Amino acid sequence: MFYRTCLQATAALASISLLAGCGLISGDDGDAEQKITVGTTSEPSTLDPAAAWDGSWELYRNVFQTLLSFPTGSTTPKPDAAESCRFPDATNTVFECKLRPGLKFTNGDKLDAAAVKHSIDRIRTIDAEGGPNGLLGSLESVSTTGEDVVTFRLTSADATFPFILATPAMSIVPPSEYPADALREDGKLTGSGPYALDSYTTSESAEMTRFADYKGFAKIKNDKVTIRYYQDSDVMMQALKDRTIDAINRGLTAEEVVELQEKRPENDHLQLVETVGADIRYLVFNPDDPNAGKLAVRRAIAQTVDRGALVQKVYRGTAEPLYSMVPKGIAGHTTEFYDRFGEPDAAKAEEILDEAGIDTPVSLKFWYTTDRYGSSTAPEFAEIKRQLEETGLFRITLQGKPWTEFQEGYQSGDYPVFGRGWFPDFPDPDNFIAPFVGAKNVLGTPYESPEITEQLLPQSRRESDRGAVTGQFERAQEILVDDVRLLPLWQGKLYVAANEEIGGGERALDPQTVMQMWELYRKKSW
């Protein structure tokens, strides 16, 4: 709903708050070159898609192609580099794609079936630590027929496989520039997506230009996009106010969102787009740590953390408490943590520790990243520390590190407890369970749960009707609560802030919460 009554609009996944004047809107700016600058606190950890299962996908989606993708408004995969894809029979064990004709990479190389096979095979061969190979657990082999048909044979039925192929992790790369058995390390990137990457400067910016030979689903509404990377939300917000950047995606603090919602005169030239979010935040406990490895300690923490107070004090209505790893809006969501532990209760937490013979206060170090999820992360962990120490049962030390160092630490098993965020790979409950379990998972800490990995997930993946798998995921969430290896904290809302002359913000975020930069444009007149 617009705050100004002169404009009204609706979108399937968004409501818009516009803090600006009224006038005529147009996405066509004649022959003038459309240049957009977007700020974010989510910088790529690597330029090679074979190594990233994180926010690097933001850049990948705009410069690479995948066989399938999620066009705006779609929650099921649609063809992108592919002309068509299908399971040829009801077993869901073979998946075939036929490529669009005439595809090419920005270096002029042909994008054919061999390039697709090379791109998927190298993910499995390289098997990078923290990389996306974990998404390909059901893949047995990739084969080609001629130059335009790719066939994926699966080890077992997997109805989620089209969703996996639609993630930026499965970006298609040219074999001539991406080794089959090693990561590309020259600091460059070559894709076939809507934009060509002209330059990339670590911790500073990515410069992209519309790729004239792109063939895919995207309808590109601008000519050039600059992504600027910030470590501090306040600095980024000031750049938006000063018109140094045109829009912000990821990293707005709760205070900044509230400020924009309040329609202050100094922000009259700014607009705020609010989108339904499936991003979550959670704690991870290391089973090898002397204290975090004790089930009673984890359960006592689950009994103590006050999610409502956390959301109210730190996030001021821009998030809501989460009691399951599967968030609201996704099939199979439950409130299992609340059902099991109820309201925060220090006396019950003390009883849990006493029955296990654990001396108090329990000392733990909590780790978080200082530059990945915005400036609210440090206050969030300060509030968790306050809550736990207020009971007298815990002594908490906090430690923050920049994302690259933080990532290396948790993947090496160095942290007793650490905070992570999860932006969905695809909108299915499988994606909020499967990545976190198994010997190799996205957390870097093995979590063996045979009932989930050997029974529940395989059962659910045989079912093409994804609305019919809630029973398996409800049981999986019960297991997660029994173990308390992961503690969900909150579910966020997504916001795009932009200057008044920028349109398309309400269409820019796809179901993976990745910004499709091609949807942004500069309005002709107001």
Could you tell me which residue, 247 or 435, shows the higher pLDDT? 247
Helix axes of 233-241 and 254-261: crossing angle, nearest 10 degrees: 30
One-letter amino acid at 302 equals A
Residue 329 is predicted with a pLDDT of 82
pLDDT band at 7 (very low <50, low <70, confident <90, very high): very low
Q: What is the pTM of this model?
A: 0.76
What's the rounded mean pLDDT across residues 158-181? Answer: 96
Strands (E), 402-467: 417-422
Closest CA to 347 of 292, 304, 388: 304
Whole-number percent of the chain with pLDDT over 90: 73
Helices assigned H by DSSP within 269-417: 295-304, 307-310, 336-341, 346-355, 377-390, 403-411
pLDDT digits (tens, 9 = 90+) for 505-523: 988 887 667 899 999 999 9
Whole-number percent of the chain with pLDDT over 70: 93
Task: Tell whether the model's pLDDT for residue 199 goes beyond 50.
Answer: yes
pLDDT digits (tens, 9 = 90+) for 33-66: 899 999 999 899 999 999 998 889 999 999 999 9
What's the rounded mean pLDDT across residues 326-346? Answer: 94
247 backbone dihedrals φ, ψ, rounded to 5°: -155, 160
Check residue 251 and give left, alpha or beta (phi > 0: left; psi -120 to 50: alpha). left
Residue 130 is predicted with a pLDDT of 79
SS3 annotation, 346-386: HHHHHHHHHHCCCCCCEEEEEEEECCCCCCCHHHHHHHHHH
pLDDT digits (tens, 9 = 90+) for 369-418: 998 887 889 999 999 999 999 999 999 999 999 988 999 999 999 999 99
By mean pLDDT, which of 27-31, 259-263, 357-361, 431-435 is the weakest?
A: 27-31
One-letter amino acid at 397 equals T
Block residue for tokens 């409502």: 308
CA distance 96 to 353: 54
What's the rounded mean pLDDT across residues 140-168? Answer: 96
pLDDT digits (tens, 9 = 90+) for 96-147: 999 999 999 999 999 999 999 999 999 999 999 878 998 898 999 999 999 9
What's the rounded mean pLDDT across residues 205-232? Answer: 96
Q: What is the mean pLDDT of the chain?
A: 90
Query: Is 104 exposed, middle or buried, given 0-12, 13-18 or 19+ CB atoms closer than 10 A?
Result: middle
pLDDT band at 264 (very low <50, low <70, confident <90, very high): confident
Top-ranked range on mean pLDDT: pick from 271-280, 285-294, 491-500: 285-294
